[in-house]
């Protein structure tokens, strides 16, 4: 059997300039799945505006600091590492959400929006990370083209024919023309953008009429499933998330409770809906033991990933160690702690 050839990561030249990435153009056309609907006016993946990323260019997108690997793009506020540990956290969250959503990878009228029709359906995943979401969606919706955008090339080099990964700073305009997409998916991207309003504007530009925007973000603080005060009942967890909140405000914003307002203010969306979902930390919840276990494992990695961020709040290394250690002990022992996921979806006017 012949060895499959990897599809190459791509850049948009404009993105290269805006992110100050000095990667030379690659050699020629790109082996990508191309929209065969002549009426869709989708930019071809063999466009002269697209350049390939050669294997020798991968290191240019990363920097090493405090023993962790981070992105090297100064224009992006994303503060977390992008190394193997973080990729495992993304995997755990992806699996957890799949179970949380009832063995689906979405909430909202996704099957309706992506139902087969006279033209190919298009989806863009903003901040795709490891690319697990478009890869799994491409299995379910084989007739749909998925584009995954992220600032670092940490996705598989062997995606299926209906998935394309592209290096792109999602805080800047994408290369796709107006009305190119049926679905814009944005999962946990608030840390990667300085202005969530720009994301909403770009989603409105990209979506066709009746197209769907879906966003997921975490609420700022933990809660208790019995509606008790987490500051009293889970003080170590509350202190940890409060410290992260302060640290994040120095670089990025919390938007979970503001997404609907952004959508309304844009005047580009209708049928705006949201849902708050409590996710247990740990396996104490009847019927959601697997979900809670996966979430707890992801938070253990998250606690280490925000360590560098917490140093920026003026804490000493010992103080940060104590904050993290107390948090990890508490979530392993205290029952009833939850985090709240806000899911929001809306249709393009």
In this prediction, residue 73 has a pLDDT band, given cuts at 50, 70 and 90, of confident
In this prediction, residue 42 has a pLDDT band, given cuts at 50, 70 and 90, of very low
The pair phi, psi for residue 107, each rounded to 5°, is -125, 150
Q: How many CB atoms lie within 10 A of CB 58?
A: 14
In this prediction, residue 49 has a pLDDT band, given cuts at 50, 70 and 90, of low
How far is it, in rounded angstroms, from Cα 211 to Cα 348? 5
pTM of the model: 0.86
How far is it, in rounded angstroms, from Cα 166 to Cα 176? 12
In this prediction, residue 282 has a pLDDT band, given cuts at 50, 70 and 90, of very high
**Which residues does 229 contact at the CB level (< 8 Å), separation at least 6?**
none
**Count of helix runs (H) and strand runs (E) in the chain:** 11, 12
Q: Looking at the predicted structure, is the pLDDT value of residue 2 above 70?
A: no
Residue 108 · residue 212 · CB < 8 Å: yes
Alpha-carbon separation of residue 287 from 279, 284, 342 (angstroms): 12, 9, 21
* 269-280 vs 181-187, strand pairing mode: unpaired
Q: Looking at the predicted structure, is the pLDDT value of residue 24 above 70?
A: no
Q: How many CB atoms lie within 10 A of CB 224?
A: 19
Domain ranges within the chain, ordered by starting residue: 10-28+53-348
Average pLDDT, rounded, for the chain: 86
Alpha-carbon separation of residue 309 from 13, 15, 16, 317 (angstroms): 31, 26, 27, 12
pLDDT in tens, 121-131: 999 999 999 99
Alpha-carbon separation of residue 281 from 225, 322, 324, 328, 331 (angstroms): 10, 20, 15, 11, 7
pLDDT of the residue at 325 = 98
Q: Looking at the predicted structure, is the pLDDT value of residue 280 above 50?
A: yes
* Percentage, residues of the chain above pLDDT 90: 74
Q: Hey, is 13 helix, strand or coil?
A: helix
Indicate the CATH number for domain 10-28+53-348.
Answer: 3.40.50.150
């Amino acid at each position: 059997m012949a060895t499959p050839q990897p599809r190459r990561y791509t850049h948009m030249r404009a993105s290269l300039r805006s992110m100050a990435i000095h990667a030379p153009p690659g050699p020629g056309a790109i082996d990508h799945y191309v929209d065969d609907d002549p009426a869709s006016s989708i930019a071809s993946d063999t466009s002269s505006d697209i350049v390939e990323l050669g294997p020798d260019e991968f290191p240019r997108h990363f920097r090493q600091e405090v023993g962790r690997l981070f992105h090297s793009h100064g224009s992006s506020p994303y503060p977390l590492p992008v190394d193997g540990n973080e990729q495992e956290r993304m995997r755990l969250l992806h699996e957890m959400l799949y179970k949380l959503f009832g063995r689906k990878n979405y909430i909202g009228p996704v099957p309706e929006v992506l139902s087969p029709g006279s033209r190919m359906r298009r989806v863009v995943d903003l901040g795709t990370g490891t690319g697990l979401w478009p890869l799994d969606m491409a299995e379910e919706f084989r007739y749909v083209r998925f584009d995954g955008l992220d600032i670092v090339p940490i996705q598989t080099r062997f995606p299926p024919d209906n998935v394309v990964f592209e290096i792109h700073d999602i805080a800047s305009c994408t290369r796709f023309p107006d009305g190119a997409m049926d679905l814009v998916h944005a999962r946990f991207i608030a840390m990667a953008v300085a202005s969530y309003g720009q994301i909403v504007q770009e989603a409105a530009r990209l979506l066709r009429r009746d197209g769907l925007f879906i966003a997921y973000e975490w609420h700022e603080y933990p809660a208790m499933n019995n509606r008790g005060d987490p500051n009293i009942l889970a003080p170590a967890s509350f202190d940890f998330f409060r410290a992260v909140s302060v640290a994040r405000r120095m670089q990025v914003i919390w938007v979970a409770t503001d997404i609907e307002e952004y959508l309304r203010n844009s005047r580009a969306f209708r049928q705006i809906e949201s849902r708050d979902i409590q996710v247990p930390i740990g396996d104490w919840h009847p019927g959601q033991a697997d979900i809670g276990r996966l979430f707890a494992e992801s938070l253990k990695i998250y606690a280490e990933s925000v360590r560098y961020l917490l140093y920026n709040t003026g804490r000493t290394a010992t103080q940060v160690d104590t904050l993290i250690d107390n948090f990890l002990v508490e979530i392993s022992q205290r029952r009833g702690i939850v985090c709240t996921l806000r899911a929001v979806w809306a249709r393009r006017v």
